[in-house]
Amino acid sequence: MEFSLFEKKEKPLIEAALIKFLDKSVSQEGTLSQAMNYSLTAGGKRIRPLLLLATVQSLGGDVSKSYEIATALEYIHTYSLVHDDLPAMDNDVLRRGKPTNHTVYGEDIAILAGDGLLTLAFEIASGGSLPAGKKIALILALAKAAGPKGMVAGQTEDIEGENQQLSLELLKAVHEKKTGELLKFSVHAGGVIADVPPFVNTLLEEFASHFGLAFQILDDILDVIGDSKELGKKTGGDAALNKSTYPGLLGLDGAKKALKSELISGKNNLLQIENYYKNAGGKFDIQLLSEMLDLLKL
């Protein structure tokens, strides 16, 4: 299936699920729900839920049972952006082309909106019609990916790395946690829902790892050469905060090469999965995930 068709069908369903769970769970009149709603509906690309659903679909799993976990994932991603933009962190005024949450609602409410999104995510993930064992496994994996050994650790290391020249190895390790863990979870969850065998699970993990690094390298490159209007956020922020980045460490051309190499490795993993199912007699629609990788081409 073409990714563009898949996105056309699935994105509205993701948007509807994001709002449905907020309406169900938060008192509608208050500032808190407005602040949560503001960032949830500020126009994110929904890469993580789309990657999760695309993984399920490409492996022949049941997409209709995947919305709770896909929604929970986007809630956690949204919380991370709200908190990342706070004055104590990146101190950003623009996100997704709109004023950041704290700029509109104040720092106190923005912190609480982030807290609300994070905790509500787990309430949402516990619902739905997946078997209980799968739900528990997914909730555990999501908590680990987002938590103090995952994204929160990555964010901490990122802050502590400001004003320091990190080695390429260290930079990779920071990004694998800060951005990579949630992207890896997207693919992992898809594999769990679609009941993949361990061999495919390992290949999916490798694919997700390359996807995550490519995503971050592209973000770093666009921070240097991108157009802030197109991106909906200010550019040059990494340099302003004296952060180590791929273009900073490898030069712009080196970073572009590194991006290409991650994309090729990710594609190879998909070909290996396709080959596995050819021999094992199952089905794998390589096109969807392959075209999602292509989104990360410059």
Interface ranges with ligand GRG (CB under 6 A): 44-45, 47, 80-81, 83-84, 96, 151-152, 155, 178-179, 216, 219
Counted residue by residue, the chain has a size of 298
Smallest distance, Å, CB 79 to ligand GRG?
Answer: 8
Residue number with CB closer to ligand GRG (36 or 273): 36
- Angstrom distance (rounded) from CA 233 to CA 251: 23
Residue number with CB closer to ligand GRG (124 or 196): 124
**Angle at which helices 181-193 and 47-58 pack, to 10 degrees?**
30
Residue number with CB closer to ligand GRG (234 or 260): 234
Q: How far is CA 242 from the centre of its chain?
A: 24
Residue number with CB closer to ligand GRG (19 or 271): 19
Residue number with CB closer to ligand GRG (58 or 80): 80
Smallest distance, Å, CB 199 to ligand GRG?
Answer: 29
Smallest distance, Å, CB 126 to ligand GRG?
Answer: 22
Tokens of 149: 């050994």
- Angstrom distance (rounded) from CA 146 to CA 139: 11
Smallest distance, Å, CB 256 to ligand GRG?
Answer: 17
Smallest distance, Å, CB 216 to ligand GRG?
Answer: 6
- 95 φ, ψ (degrees, to nearest 5): -150, 130
- Angstrom distance (rounded) from CA 152 to CA 181: 10
Residues near 24 by beta carbon (within 8 Å), at least 6 away in sequence:
none
